[in-house]
Amino acid sequence: MKQAGNKNTVFSLKSRLKRFKRDNNRWSALTLAIVVFLALPILFIGVELFAGPGETWSHIVEYLLPDYIWNSFFLIVFCSLLVLVFGVSSAWLVSRFDFPMRKALEWLLILPLAIPSYIVGYAYAGIFDYGGSLALLMEAVNLDFVRIDIMNRAGLAFVLSISLFPYVYVSARAFFLNQANNLLEASNMLGVGERKTFFKLMLPLARPAIVAGLVLVLMEVLNDYGAAKYYGVNTFTTGIFRSWFSLEEPETAVYLSALLIVIIFSLILIEKWQVRKVKFSSAKTNNQQIQRKVPKKSQKWLIFAVVFIPVLLGFVLPILQLIYWAFLTASKVFNMDFLWVSLQSFGISIVSALITVFFALLLIYFSKWSALRLIKNVARVGVLGYAIPGAVIAIGIMIPTLALDKWLIKVLGNMGIETGLIINGTLIALFYAYAVRFLAVAYNPIESTALKVDNSIPDSSKVLGVGNLKTFFKIEFPLIKTGIFSAVILVFIDVMKELPLTLILKPYHIDTLAVRAYEYASDEMVMEAAIPSLFIIFTAMIPVIFLNKLLIKK
């Protein structure tokens, strides 16, 4: 009898090649093309490294790099600590106890995410400044004003933490609410006290969820440009801006970008490593939610206070400060030009959201239609842009598009056609950059709704004689509409808030609300930044509430 299914012959190179030829369809090639397209900016950073550093590199290494590294290290450590304290404590308290206004606080704790960090930075600068809100308040009650200087590293760490802690809050709360109930009951039955249960049982179990949130926070910390610039703290991002705009040395910007990428991937690796070590977490979701305890009256208000502090610091105070400024500057800022900028901001955000969602759909479905298993893993690489700071992506796009434009101008010039820059400094480059940076924001909600559609549904369509594309439009699209809609909204907000990438790549004559706020603040007119900031915040708030509803449903 023929030894069929023999590993040696069936999985020999020859028959593998045969099957590869059979299974290699156009979807595989298209998936690969999209992934390469999305990874190009990062690949260019790698390629440009070989061009060698710029003239000032040795100067930077000697005088500035230690500062960048030390500041980044300081920010990583202190933001982690603060974010963990704010995020985990509030998540645990709202999941475990019932206290006054708990339900309202549960979603208020997410709202700081609606305010970009640099705007929180501007607001706090105004609160603590000479003649600022705090000074006025103390004067009013006849107290001596002692100025606390926050325009430094520590102040920046505080500002970033108070605006980013909701990432940790959201993922920790999701764990506590949905997965902790059985264990919690078991621990209580065994007579273990509340405090010990939290520190010995809940905290170690929630660690993967908490660290996942923390890594998102640190990516945002390293991505920040606006707040660091305003607070005068030298970080990698401000260094990239300085070498690009002031020193006009792209080579140096590339080297700093590469270093920053290394730092970020180390953080991601640490996360993966620590999650792998925690194999004991049960993957099964527990449908039963935690039974909340009703604490004693005195404790009730203490818990309320502890949960309210991050909301107060991260949302209420900055918003009050901005509203106060908005009243002072309304007549000056609110004019036709401002409306025009708002319109541009909306337009750019909606178009880039649609483009980004389009690419996410292509990536998800092309890789699904590819018959090669390898391609399905490759598709995930296209999502990595979210980890890369906006400034780095901008540099990775700026350099090759400049070179491409120079070449195009020369070629077209030879043909007698006079043109200016075609890609660089136009909206094309900007939209491309947003797609690279925010692809994951679109990819994840679409993928999770797509996973809810059982495979047998599209399979039935194919067996009934309908091809992939038509199946998508007739069957899959109507079933994943909500996922696509939330993806558009989420990317829309992220683009509205985005600053560093926009600053580098935006066309000269185009402005967004974020850029307008930044420019006011840089020009010593921080009060005037309040109105564009509030516009961004209110646009972002509606979907943050909507997103929270989705999270609670999950």
Partner 1 sequence: MLKIDSLSKSYDKGKNYALQDVSFELKSGDVCAIVGESGSGKTTLVRLIAGLERPDEGSISLSGKVLSSVDQFTQPEKRKIGLVFQEYALFPHLTVLENILYGIAKQKDKKERAQEMLDLVGLSEMGGRYPHQLSGGQQQRVALARALAPNPSLLILDEPFSNLDTMLRTQLRSQVFEIIEKTGVTVLFVTHDTQDALSVADEILILQNGKVVQKDAASNLYVKPNNLYVASLFGNTVRINKDLQNAFHCPLNEECCHAIRNEKIKVNPDELTTDCDYITTAEVIKKIALGDAVQLVLKLETGEKLTVTTRDKNIADTINIGFNSKDILEFNE
Q: Which residues contribute to the site for partner 1 (CB under 8 A)?
A: 2, 4-5, 7, 10-11, 15, 18-19, 21-23, 371, 454, 456-457, 459-467, 474-475, 478-479
Q: Do the Cβ atoms of 334 and 531 come closer than 8 Å?
A: yes
Whole-angstrom Cα Rg for the chain: 26
Which is closer to partner 1, CB of 9 or CB of 522? 9
Two tokens, residue 189? 């039955």
Which is closer to partner 1, CB of 43 or CB of 457? 457
Q: Do the Cβ atoms of 539 and 490 come closer than 8 Å?
A: no
Q: Do the Cβ atoms of 213 and 137 come closer than 8 Å?
A: no
The torsion angle over the Cα atoms of residues 205, 207, 210 and 214, rounded to 10 degrees, is 180
**Which burial class, exposed, middle or buried, applies to 485 when counting CB atoms under 10 A from its CB (0-12, 13-18, 19+)?**
middle
Cβ of residue 30: shortest distance to partner 1, in angstroms?
16
Cβ-proximal residues to 450 (8 Å cutoff; 6+ apart), any chain: 364, 476, 480, 483
Closest CA to 53 of 262, 247, 245: 247
Q: Do the Cβ atoms of 540 and 490 come closer than 8 Å?
A: no
Which is closer to partner 1, CB of 328 or CB of 457? 457
Which is closer to partner 1, CB of 163 or CB of 471? 471
Which is closer to partner 1, CB of 18 or CB of 277? 18
The SS3 assignment for 422 reads: coil
Distance CA 407, CA 413 (A): 10
Cβ of residue 546: shortest distance to partner 1, in angstroms?
23
Cβ of residue 471: shortest distance to partner 1, in angstroms?
8
CB atoms within 10 A of CB 358: 14
Closest CA to 263 of 103, 392, 440, 110: 392
Cβ of residue 14: shortest distance to partner 1, in angstroms?
10
Could you tell me how far CA 33 lies from the centroid of its own chain?
25
Which is closer to partner 1, CB of 248 or CB of 454? 454
The SS3 assignment for 97 reads: strand
Cβ of residue 283: shortest distance to partner 1, in angstroms?
20
Which is closer to partner 1, CB of 24 or CB of 444? 24
Cβ of residue 410: shortest distance to partner 1, in angstroms?
46
Q: Do the Cβ atoms of 343 and 496 come closer than 8 Å?
A: no
Which is closer to partner 1, CB of 295 or CB of 458? 458
Cβ of residue 476: shortest distance to partner 1, in angstroms?
10
Q: Do the Cβ atoms of 240 and 257 come closer than 8 Å?
A: yes
Which is closer to partner 1, CB of 19 or CB of 300? 19
Closest CA to 493 of 523, 536, 449: 536
Which is closer to partner 1, CB of 266 or CB of 460? 460
Cβ of residue 481: shortest distance to partner 1, in angstroms?
10
Cβ of residue 378: shortest distance to partner 1, in angstroms?
18
Distance CA 57, CA 74 (A): 23
Which is closer to partner 1, CB of 3 or CB of 335? 3
Distance CA 445, CA 113 (A): 18
Cβ of residue 11: shortest distance to partner 1, in angstroms?
5
Which H helix or E strand runs over 312?
none
Which is closer to partner 1, CB of 420 or CB of 465? 465
Closest CA to 443 of 476, 488, 390: 488
Two tokens, residue 199? 């520190």
- Indicate the DSSP class of residue 291: P
What phi and psi, each to the nearest 5 degrees, are found at residue 247? -85, -15
Cβ of residue 479: shortest distance to partner 1, in angstroms?
7
Which is closer to partner 1, CB of 14 or CB of 297? 14
Q: Do the Cβ atoms of 318 and 516 come closer than 8 Å?
A: no
Cβ of residue 13: shortest distance to partner 1, in angstroms?
13
Please list, residue by residue across 515-538, b when 16 or more beta carbons sit within 10 angstroms of its beta carbon and e when fewer do: bbbbebbeeeebbbbbbbbbbbbe
Distance CA 493, CA 512 (A): 13
Which is closer to partner 1, CB of 146 or CB of 463? 463
Cβ of residue 41: shortest distance to partner 1, in angstroms?
35
Cβ of residue 445: shortest distance to partner 1, in angstroms?
19
**Which burial class, exposed, middle or buried, applies to 38 when counting CB atoms under 10 A from its CB (0-12, 13-18, 19+)?**
buried
What phi and psi, each to the nearest 5 degrees, are found at residue 279? -90, -10
